[in-house]
Amino acid sequence: MPASDYLIIDERFAGLIHINAGPEVLWDGGRWTEGPAYFPAGRYVIWSDIPNDRIMRWDEMNGAVAVFEHPCRNQNGHAVDIQGRMIACEHRGRCISRYEHDGSRKILADSFDGKPLNSPNDVIVKSDGSIWFTDPSYGVDSDYEGDAAPMEQDGRHVYRIDQAGGITRVISDMKQPNGLAFSPDESLLYVADTGGTHYPDCEPVIRVYPVTKDGKSVGAGSEFVTCSKGFFDGFRVDANGNIWSSAGDGVHCFSPDGKLLGKILIDQVVSNICFGGPKRNRLFICATTTLRSVYVNARGM
Ligand code: MG
């Protein structure tokens, strides 16, 4: 009964889903899955199983699942850069790394202002090749998802790595910045705040920041949408600017003007999603112990 997998709040959502095609479980067996990324050239998805310290890989052609890397320094979020390379957030490595074409691993950023990063959580690549990432404290808060350690930065912030390797802090007014994404024209940067895990009065929101004309920083942010169940963690924007976000009861879909259009209901907490498949019209969903997917009538950027 796929219809029961959806909550249609606004008519527009009915046009963004296939009511006869509900989400399916592709794999189960993780502890906390996160950081999905689709690699078009290889037609596979990789994702993190953070507490088990491994990256998994699902093959689109035959459905096979294998360990991609273990141990993996408790990786979390991933992105594919404009050359098709994997960009990784490493909790235990406390860095952003890149997997090169020759198989070697290069650390792109592991400190700011002479002090170690906290534990990079999620990452995106802009069309100019710059890499933007969030640095909350989850990977140093305990030994469960990294190595417990004192936080040396003065807070949890958002950073940008330019093509020359320079790192700048772009947002410093959040509690626990987590998932992030640009609008299709890259004029807006959306960032989720999961600060409620540490600050009870911190609302579970996605904030929006205008990207400056030079594309290198952002202006003052404001609240964009509030989560009606659990937290917004990782999320993605489709080619029409709709925001598809993880939440406590599934995937929430918002219009570009911030209206909740509907939900894909999932019976586990969703941590992150990505678009994939040759047409980029398949959502891959990390939900607690599982990797799932659902075809939607929208395309990722
Ligand atoms: Mg996250």
- What is the 135 CA–ligand 1 centroid distance (Å)? 10
Contact assessment for residue 150 and residue 106, using Cβ atoms and an 8 Å cutoff: no
| pLDDT at site 2 | 61
Closest CA to 135 of 193, 215, 211, 220: 193
Side-chain half-sphere exposure of 223, counting CA atoms within 13 A = 8
Report field, pTM of the whole predicted structure over 0.95: yes
Residues with CB under 5 Å of ion ligand 1 are: 121-122, 178, 233-234
Q: Provide φ and ψ at 195, rounded to 5°.
A: -60, -15
Token pair for residue 129? Answer: 């090749």
Radius of gyration of the chain (CA): 18
Average pLDDT over residues 59-78: 98
Closest CA to 162 of 241, 109, 203, 226: 109
pLDDT at 282 over 90: yes
CA dihedral 244, 246, 249, 253 (to 10 degrees): -10
Side-chain half-sphere exposure of 100, counting CA atoms within 13 A = 7
| pLDDT at site 4 | 86
- What is the 190 CA–ligand 1 centroid distance (Å)? 13
- What is the 1 CA–ligand 1 centroid distance (Å)? 30
